[in-house]
Chain A
């Protein structure tokens, strides 16, 4: 069966089967082609588009739904595997931390129907809270990890992962990175191969992890490591580009493309996997080259294993453990190691760029929530979402941000420490609250913590581009489903003080937050307004500032709204403010903070002939 899987490359390479796909689209295609039946994921950049693209395939082929978090996604996929069908879960690297409780024991249990997990790492921290290396997790859990180099391989490896999963009774991780996930290149696609569901496997010694069973299964985990490594060898899965000289480079995943770009003359061995290693091929490679460098993004996973095996290799002394690789960083490493001579050439043209960090959108309802918290001088435990941007200028309203759902637990701890004199507030978005905000809220009630939770309900998972969740009442395929009511849910946990406020009503929001923090015990304020971007782009009539009335007090500029810019006209050394009519959506927040009442809808000016 294994050989069949490898030979089973898409039959015809007709031009009509070639299409440009992003890495994530290619993984989705691979899942569909492999005959997977059940898929689940929690959105997270850069992995989000995987499940979104799977949901484009027909409903009768494949069951798809957003899960509350990564652990439930993996649990759901694993349940489908128990039930005998091919199953799949997708997540970003930090999502593996959430799913790891299931993952570590899943490794012992193995599979019935194939089980594959795609994990998107984020070297360079483009949109994450850290840059942990999932290859370490694969080794830790004892499950194989396939590392595609480009979109074509992302599709091929994803298909193959399902076969390896069934053959070796293991979950298989397909690892992508931000760069691969979001690079579009031509991919030869195949057709879907339906898989007949297997019967439920009734072996409880395999499926029920009690100590006596787990001890036996641990041997299986260790034995399969070698078996899978041998499989990689037998199928020649490492790509060996023979070079002209005697220098060799061992690499894997997207880093391989930079190596090929910068030093095509070297012998380059691109491994299919950092765990387990293709030891046979590596030995042959080592015999043919004199000096070997390991070029791998992030941690020295391959390098460490090669050193333990007794090979004389170098890697991380020349290539950083931090950040995303690029042709330059790989070139610099190769120059430092003496593999390449330093390049000479004209210096790049220099200029003075300006900082342009991401900002909350014009009319973003999170702005008023954090203005209110600044108003009461709160100590704010933040969470993961667009609203993390309120930590920087000009709002500067967040004191801590750790991981999904940490805000409420952090706030409980701050309150119990008894040292804080300012009101303690946890801010958390609707999707993050569902992901992992409910257990710590139970803790808050249980331990009678004196905190306020500001639930920023913008009716969508906004940061990742607008995905639905259980509290939007809409499925990934756009169907209406049961909708969670936050106020009822929170009341059922024993919270006595709950208010729901329109985020755009700044006075009321401020007053409510103030009252909430004066309440002794757990209070919850639901700041309620849909996101201005998703699911529909909200646009109202643009506002305008009556320049002659503006005293340049900068009250509105402190909202951080990108529609507000400095005018060239000054008042007493400060810039008056002007509204960009293209960016403004007419949310009225600036009207509410303007002390001279100088801001009005555009139409008012026309009516008065101004």
Chain B
């Protein structure tokens, strides 16, 4: 793929999570294109994105580039440093000719671990490499972070992906290595060179990897939590109110503890264990039964 042949402008979208090196990858490519005499526009958004959020960078190069951003569905290459981020941006890829390159590395965001109901899974993209690679014109997925760790430095994962990308762009290996050396610390130039060449070689016999980390969780019985509070024993010391992770408990006007937000209770038992006066009991009740005293079911 080259800016001079079929495409007047080549569009590369680099995506990942804040801190992964999206901007570094795009700067390498931008400098390389500029050295080859292309007009280059590289566009990103700073600020909020940096705090662990989704980060993206558009690189467009060719004879004349107008828009700094890539029109939807016209990215020639999507290069993702994290799997769920590749899923976020895959709609930007040209469905007929685009090349998809993604690390299968997973970064689960704190938001994915929010549901406090029983037996929940962390929220993550459900597509596997197998699902996706069949849909794109050309696609590569590999555990670059894992390979880089084996080579001796996880940080070289991005360079492996650059190596993969280099096989679909018309720039020489020497030019690539020359530019990469400008962006990595002097002591890791060697390992990045190895990583880059690994990526190029890997393409020749690219396989579809299994997604790692897909473990079936061990399911517990479906129960609801009922908190029995004995007002006569409660002296309003406030310990349970302060320690409840979900802020369910409050003191009422008589300074007795009440469960003000029972729906938020996860049944963690911290209040029960910490109450110095044994005034709180947690009952785990099968979903269909309503009477707390009828069912002292322990999970």
Chain A residues near B (Cβ < 8 Å): 20, 45-46, 126-127, 150, 178-180, 182-186, 254, 257-258, 260-262, 326-328, 331, 345-361, 374-375, 377, 386, 389, 393-394, 463-465, 510, 551-555, 557-558, 560-562, 564-566, 568-570, 572-575, 593, 595
Contact = CB atoms under 8 A, between A and B. Distances in A.
B42 A348 contact: no
B136 A386 contact: no
Interface in B73-112: 73, 84-85, 87-88, 90-93, 95-96, 108-112
Contacts of A257: 66-68
Nearest to A331: B71
Interface residues of B, number: 81
A379 B110 CA distance: 25
A394 B215 CA distance: 25
Contact of A182 (B45, B245, B273): B45
B132 interface: yes
Interface in B245-299: 245-247, 250, 266-270, 273-274, 299
B40 to A, nearest CB: 7
B235 interface: no
Interface string B23-57: 00000001100100001111111111111111000
Q: Is the interface of B mostly helix, strand, loop or mixed?
A: loop
B68 A183 contact: yes
A510 B268 CA distance: 22
Nearest to A510: B242
A351 B34 contact: no
Interface stretch (B116-124, B167-175, B226-234): B116-124
A512 to B, nearest CB: 14
B93 A353 contact: no
Contacts of B135: 349
A375 B215 contact: no
Given A184-B30, A261-B71, A348-B92, A595 B274 contact: yes
B46 A46 contact: yes
A326 B71 contact: yes
Contacts of B43: 179, 182-184
B122 A566 contact: yes
B91 A354 contact: no
Contact of B53 (A178, A357, A374, A551): A357
Contact of B111 (A328, A346, A374, A393): A393
B1 interface: no
Given A554-B116, A572-B299, A394 B93 contact: no
28 contacts: A45-B46, A127-B47, A179-B69, A180-B68, A257-B67, A258-B66, A262-B71, A326-B72, A327-B70, A348-B72, A349-B136, A351-B125, A356-B52, A356-B85, A359-B109, A377-B250, A386-B51, A551-B269, A552-B268, A553-B245, A553-B269, A554-B246, A558-B246, A562-B52, A566-B112, A570-B219, A570-B220, A573-B267
Contacts of B127: 351-352
Contact of B215 (A261, A331, A345, A568): A568
Given A20-B30, A565-B122, A349 B68 contact: no
B243 A595 contact: yes
B21 interface: no
Report the 4 A-B pairs with minimum CB-CB distance, sorted nearest first.
A127-B47, A573-B118, A553-B268, A573-B220
Given A349-B132, A394-B110, A572-B299, 7 more contacts: A182-B43, A358-B51, A374-B247, A551-B268, A568-B217, A573-B118, A593-B245
B205 interface: no
A351 B110 contact: no
A127 B45 CA distance: 9
A317 to B, nearest CB: 23
B259 to A, nearest CB: 15
B109 A179 contact: no
Given A126-B48, A554-B116, A560-B110, A354 B84 contact: yes
Contact of A348 (B51, B91, B118, B267): B91
Contacts of A357: 53, 109, 111
A414 to B, nearest CB: 21
B218 interface: yes
Contact of A356 (B30, B40, B111, B132): B111
B87 A351 contact: yes
Contacts of A347: 95
A351 B51 contact: no
A346 B41 CA distance: 26
Interface in B118-158: 118-120, 122-127, 132, 135-136
